[in-house]
């Protein structure tokens, strides 16, 4: 037990020394660069340098969050606003990015934290190693080093002890040992206090959480309207397909049957020919109805789940497609349907537009998130733009608070990644 406590104290001391150096060097440097860069916005230079510096500040703060969680079990959530899915490019995009970062309250809280971290934070971080090193220094004085110091300048102060003789040197050693004994109990607490101080500024405030929640509600409201519009469009498509396809064939078949009834006794041969045609029309109408049902909710999806439905999609493609599924259970039917049709459209695009000859589909569920990645070796260049199929998929996934990400450099490969929060049953 005692050995474990000594190890924890020494480890906290080493980490405290590391955090002291990082807190002083990193916080001072980044704070000065941030202030200078923001000041240079008035002459235009800061528009380009400020996002770079603030990004470095965020990475530095994120590293601090990581240390807080690993070393002191202090969890500090990340409060930054997400970048838009399709940021503008060029100088206009740079101005937009700079403005967006400066409008984010988390940016200014990061700058406040840099000030606190280089002062009070550094003091809290230096205490654990100081309590350990003070013991070593006390015994160094007790071993005779006090004498040349005394001869050179009149003695050394060790805390509140003025070391001017061997007895006072031994007193310094005893006090240093007491500091070390104290460190066995307080060093982990001091390191935790350092990170708790950071948490007061780096964690999102209630106002920030409310704002983020309001933004999320607005987004869900927008995607709900998109879902309603998509549902109305889907109903119109179904009505059109029924009217132009199966309904027209059934009407024609009814007319043929009426004609057959009138001529069956007068012209049996003609009646027989028309019966064969009616049979053909009924088969085609049944096929169209099956295709229509498959377009609404494929039977394989309803009966066997998303994994087998995606495998069935892959089997119908004229391109070699590898499907890897790791989903232990079933998601809710609307989620499965949205994911299925999203994958279907992406696969269609890969075959039709990307001219790919190999496709890989990965479907898995982890940490309450359904993740689907579709990769092809086509020519690339895909993007989420207004009116594109990918834009429609993004709106469909947004209904379930899902996201869509596309990586498609010119020349390929293209990777489309989807994430939908859901639980399996």
State how far the alpha carbon of 416 is from the alpha carbons of 311, 368, 383, in Å. 17, 20, 10
Q: What is the DSSP string of 251-293?
A: HHHHHHHHHHHHHTTT-HHHHHHHHHHHHHHHHHHHHHHHHHH
Confidence of residue 217 (pLDDT cuts 50, 70, 90): low
Which has the higher per-residue pLDDT, 286 or 167? 167
Give me the mean pLDDT over the 217-225 stretch: 59
Buried b (16+ CB within 10 A) or exposed e, 308-335: ebbbbbbeeeebebebebebeeebeeeb
Query: How much is the pLDDT for 331?
Result: 81
Number of other CB atoms surrounding residue 103 within 10 Å: 10
The label of the residue with tokens 């240390």 reads: 67
Pick the range with the lowest mean pLDDT from 153-162, 366-375, 385-394.
385-394
Question: Which strands, in side-by-side order, build the sheet including 403-407?
Answer: 320-326, 358-366, 369-376, 414-421, 403-407
Give me the mean pLDDT over the 268-280 stretch: 75
The label of the residue with tokens 């020494």 reads: 10
Residue 233 has pLDDT above 60, yes or no: no
Query: How much is the pLDDT for 209?
Result: 58
pLDDT in tens, 280-289: 777 666 666 6
Which tokens go with 236? Answer: 């119109």
What is d(CA 43, CA 290) in angstroms, rounded to the nearest whole number? 66
Which has the higher per-residue pLDDT, 387 or 152? 152
Query: How much is the pLDDT for 36?
Result: 93
Residue 311 has pLDDT above 70, yes or no: yes
Phi and psi angles of residue 50, each rounded to the nearest 5 degrees, phi first: -60, -45
Pick the CATH number of 304-421 from 3.40.50.10800, 3.30.565.10, 3.40.50.1980, 3.40.190.10: 3.30.565.10
Confidence of residue 231 (pLDDT cuts 50, 70, 90): low
pTM over 0.75: no
Which has the higher per-residue pLDDT, 68 or 410? 68
Give me the mean pLDDT over the 167-183 stretch: 80
Query: How much is the pLDDT for 151?
Result: 65
Arithmetic mean of pLDDT over the chain:
78
Query: How much is the pLDDT for 411?
Result: 78
Pick the range with the lowest mean pLDDT from 60-69, 91-100, 185-194, 244-253.
244-253
Give me the mean pLDDT over the 290-312 stretch: 69
Query: How much is the pLDDT for 69?
Result: 86
Q: What is the DSSP string of 293-352?
A: HHHHS-HHHHHH-HHHHHHHHHHTSSSEEEEEEE--S---HHHHHHHHHHHHHHHHHHHH
Residue 31 has pLDDT above 90, yes or no: yes
Residue 71 has pLDDT above 80, yes or no: yes
Query: How much is the pLDDT for 222?
Result: 58
Residue 309 has pLDDT above 80, yes or no: yes
The label of the residue with tokens 């890969």 reads: 350
Query: How much is the pLDDT for 60?
Result: 92
Give me the mean pLDDT over the 262-272 stretch: 74
Pick the range with the lowest mean pLDDT from 22-36, 176-190, 320-334, 399-413.
399-413
- DSSP, collapsed to helix, strand or coil, labels residue 117 as helix
Query: How much is the pLDDT for 25?
Result: 92
Confidence of residue 18 (pLDDT cuts 50, 70, 90): very high
Query: How much is the pLDDT for 423?
Result: 82
Confidence of residue 230 (pLDDT cuts 50, 70, 90): low
Residue 33 has pLDDT above 70, yes or no: yes
Give me the mean pLDDT over the 390-402 stretch: 76
Query: How much is the pLDDT for 214?
Result: 58
Q: What is the DSSP string of 376-394?
A: E-S-------TTSHHHHHH
Query: How much is the pLDDT for 297?
Result: 55
Which has the higher per-residue pLDDT, 121 or 294? 121
Query: How much is the pLDDT for 349?
Result: 81
pLDDT in tens, 286-300: 666 665 555 555 666
Query: How much is the pLDDT for 115?
Result: 93
Query: How much is the pLDDT for 298?
Result: 64
Residue 236 has pLDDT above 90, yes or no: no
């Amino acid at each position: 037990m005692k050995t474990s406590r000594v190890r924890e104290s020494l480890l906290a001391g080493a980490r405290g020394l590391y955090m002291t150096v990082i807190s002083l060097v990193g916080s001072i440097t980044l704070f000065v660069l941030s202030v200078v860069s923001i000041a240079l916005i008035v002459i235009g230079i800061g528009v380009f340098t400020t996002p770079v510096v603030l990004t470095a500040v965020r990475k530095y703060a994120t590293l601090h969050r990581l240390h807080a969680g690993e070393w002191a079990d202090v969890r500090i959530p990340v409060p930054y606003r997400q970048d838009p899915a399709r940021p503008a490019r060029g100088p206009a995009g740079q101005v937009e990015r700079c403005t967006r970062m400066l409008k984010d309250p988390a940016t200014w809280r990061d700058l406040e934290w840099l000030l606190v971290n280089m002062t009070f934070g550094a003091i809290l971080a230096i205490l654990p190693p100081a309590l350990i090193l003070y013991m070593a220094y006390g015994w160094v004085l007790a071993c005779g080093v006090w004498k040349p110091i005394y001869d050179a300048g009149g003695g050394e102060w060790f805390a509140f002890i003025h070391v001017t003789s061997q007895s006072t040197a031994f007193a310094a050693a005893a006090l240093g040992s007491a500091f070390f004994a104290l460190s066995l109990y307080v060093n982990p607490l001091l390191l935790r206090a350092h990170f708790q101080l950071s948490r007061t500024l780096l964690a999102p405030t209630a106002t920030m959480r409310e704002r983020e929640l309001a933004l999320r509600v607005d987004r869900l409201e927008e995607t709900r309207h998109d879902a309603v519009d998509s549902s109305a469009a889907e109903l119109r498509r179904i009505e059109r397909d029924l009217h132009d396809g199966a309904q027209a064939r059934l009407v024609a078949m009814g007319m043929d049957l009426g004609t057959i009834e009138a001529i069956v006794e007068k012209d049996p041969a003609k009646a027989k020919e028309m019966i064969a045609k009616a049979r053909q029309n009924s088969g085609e109408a049944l096929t169209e109805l099956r295709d229509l049902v498959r377009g609404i909710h494929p039977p394989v999806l309803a009966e066997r789940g998303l994994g087998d439905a995606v495998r069935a999609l892959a089997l119908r493609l004229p391109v070699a497609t590898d499907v890897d599924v790791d989903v232990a259970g079933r998601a809710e039917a609307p989620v499965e349907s949205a994911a299925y049709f999203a994958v279907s459209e992406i696969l269609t695009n890969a075959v039709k537009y990307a001219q790919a000859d190999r496709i890989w589909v990965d479907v898995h569920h982890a940490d309450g998130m359904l993740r689907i990645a579709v990769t092809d070796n086509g020519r690339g260049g895909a993007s989420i733009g207004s009116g594109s199929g990918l834009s429609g998929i993004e709106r469909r996934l947004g209904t379930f608070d899902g996201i869509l990400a596309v990586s498609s450099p010119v020349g390929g490969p293209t990777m489309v990644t989807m994430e939908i929060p859901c639980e399996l049953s």
